[in-house]
Amino acid sequence: MKKITILVISLLLPLFMQAQETILQNVYARDYQNLNGSWNYIIDPFDMGYYDYRLKESPNGFFKNKKAQHKADLVEYNFDTAPLMLIPSDWNTQNTQLFFYEGSVWFKKDFNYTKKQGGKTYIYFGAANYDAKVYLNGEKIGEHLGGFTPFNFDITGKVKDGSNFIIVRVNNKRIPEGVPTVNADWWNYGGITREVLIVDVPELFINDYLIQLEKGKYDNISGSVRLSQQIAGKAIVLDIPELKIKRTLVTDGQGVASFTVKAKPELWSPEKPKLYDVSLSFDEEKINDKIGFRQIETVGKEVRLNGKKTFLRGISIHEEAPFRQGRAWSADDAKVLLGWAKELGCNFVRLAHYPHNEYMVREAERLGLMVWSEIPVYWTIHWDNPDTYANAQKQLNDMIDRDKNRCAIVIWSVANETPHSDARDQFLANLATYARTKDNTRLISMAMEVTGSSNNVSKVEDYMSKYVDIISFNNYLGWYSGTLGDIQTRKWEIPYNKPFFISEFGAGALQGKHGDNTEIWTEEYQAELYKQTLAMYDKVEGFAGTSPWILVDFYSPRRQLNGIQDFFNRKGLVSNNGVKKQAFFVLQDFYKKKMNE
């Protein structure tokens, strides 16, 4: 019965999501006012600003921004005298007292707004972790669950001409039914972690679009444009000047204009990441974008980009800010992290374990880095809970919606290191099926695990093998199991006619700690493990690439060894201070060899 319930939820959820506020496509191409900067904040560990003393939602919570009018008035909070925090950010690294804090924090921002005639106004959040409730001028306008996907609310008629205030209650408390759940291996950064924008659009506007090469063809550009209302007969102009394409599209009764145009664009690739200037015009509105065209597929045990066998020279990356730590969110953060990936010789990055910010994806595209994008279905998810499934599918839907025009993304991943069970299999099969239904032009994968070893042979067998295009798995031979000597002799049994990809391997090393290559936590041990692991997999038929764990040391509450970890996962090839370890250069040399094959 539980399997049936989850399947029904899977089928009905697209209808449910259509009724919700759709995410504005390419928000940075629109007319917006940025609310980044200093926000007042109030820490609320007992949620007294949200509940009354009977734990019922209070109609006069902190969101009312109430002021004492007389000296006898009792008001037990005051945003105006509360401290300031820079937004976007996480509170954990902005205030040392909040380093381990999990709970509610209230944020308030005053802003001025000039009303525009005949249009609509939205407030857009790049992300807030995890449970966000949003209030404008003392009235609730919406809420959102999930820490890594964008959301927006229509505030037309609610935002005032002149002075306004926005208040957001963000709660990052981990919950068993959440996505991710209570058990994870990265820092639970709380706060408004990405940009907040006030966006103005016309009354009728271009809400969404998709422009790409038709699957399997190199001379057809196809796609669709959707208006914000279901109105037929509206003309939209598609313009790609460099390809001499200028086409007037006309909407159908659903407000959608679909098209196919004959053209042979120069293909996007890591060697030459060609992007075309594309514009869509409707009445007085014009949306500009940069779009690349490419094909990605698997044939037998090969990954092929634009019809050519491609080895994925990757690295895994957390959304952790370089040097300062905390949640990365800016274009500058993306340039540093992806610059290190390029220096490694990468043509591919695994953005783990959740959708990263839009700057990261667009910078990867500009640099010629293929992308694995993932939702945080991680470890011990509540497989039997329909609400958990609905949350996971909503995050998958929103990840695809935001980034479907980014040609750099070649893999949608639905999970990482999940324990086998019938409920898990059904949950993940539904996610993979949904992803393929929504986008059949990209590959589907997930990070599996080794399912057993005997007689020095390791096997990878997973029910999900029939739903994915690439058999990806994590394996830490020589670190969590086995020895360096085992790596030299280990054999592999992967019984599928599909490429296999090592989504994680690695070892911890404290930068600057040295010894012989048999002493763990030293740079030498990490470097030796990399040498042997890469040599081991390179001998196995179907080895299509890897994204070792991980580019940079990152905060994790699970990593507590004093003097070595100090709450850092030390598997990075670059230290938290930006210093490269020996293994960085081992991987760099391996990728140089693979480039020349």
pLDDT in tens, 463-503: 999 999 999 999 999 999 999 999 999 999 999 999 999 99
Topology of the domain comprising 206-292: Immunoglobulin-like (2.60.40)
Q: What is the pTM of this model?
A: 0.95
The two tokens of residue 589 are 């040399």
Position of tokens 């199991």? 481
The string of pLDDT tens digits covering residues 290-312 is 999 999 999 999 999 999 999 99
What whole-number distance in Å separates Cα of residue 225 and Cα of residue 216?
A: 21
Report yes or no: 430 and 389 within 8 Å, Cβ to Cβ: yes
pLDDT interval class at 10 (50, 70, 90): very low
8 contact partners, CB below 8 Å, separation of at least 6 = none
Q: Is the confidence at residue 3, as pLDDT, over 90?
A: no
Element (H, E) at 535: helix 523-538
Q: Is the dihedral of CA 398, 544, 455, 518 positive or negative?
A: negative
Nearest to 25 by CA among 189, 205, 251, 275: 205
- Residues 447, 378: Cα–Cα separation, whole Å: 10
With b for 16 or more beta-carbon neighbours within 10 A and e for fewer, the 193-205 pattern comes to bbbbbbbbbbebb
pLDDT at 117: 87
Q: Phi and psi at residue 247, in whole multiples of 5°?
A: -130, 135
CATH class, 35-201 region: mainly beta
Instruction: Answer whether 207's CB lies under 8 Å from 227's CB.
Output: yes
The boundaries of every CATH 3.20.20.80 domain in the chain are 314-595
Contact between residue 415 and residue 377 where contact means Cβ atoms under 8 Å apart: yes
CA separation (Å) from 553 to 113, 188, 337? 42, 16, 12
Q: How far apart are CA 153 and CA 120, in angstroms?
A: 11
pLDDT digits over 234-292, tens only? Answer: 999 999 999 999 999 999 999 999 999 999 999 999 999 999 999 999 999 999 999 99
pLDDT beyond 90 at 42: yes
Q: Dmax of the chain from CA atoms?
A: 81
User: Is residue 73 over pLDDT 60?
Assistant: yes
pLDDT classification of 116: cutoffs 50, 70, 90: confident
Portions of the chain given CATH number 2.60.40.10: 206-292
What is the chain's mean pLDDT, rounded? 95
- What are the residue ranges of CATH 2.60.120.260 in the chain? 35-201
Q: For residues 298 and 303, what is the distance between their CA atoms, to the nearest angstrom?
A: 5
Q: State the Cα–Cα distance between residues 509 and 519, nearest whole angstrom.
A: 10
Strand 348-351, strand 370-374: pairing: parallel
CA pair distance 188, 172, nearest whole angstrom: 7
Q: Looking at domain 314-595, what is its CATH homologous superfamily?
A: Glycosidases (3.20.20.80)
Residue 97 Cα distances to 43, 89, 100, 238, angstroms: 10, 15, 8, 52
What does the angle CA 71 – CA 72 – CA 76 come to, to the nearest 5 degrees?
90
**Antiparallel, parallel or unpaired: β 500-504 and 543-546:** parallel
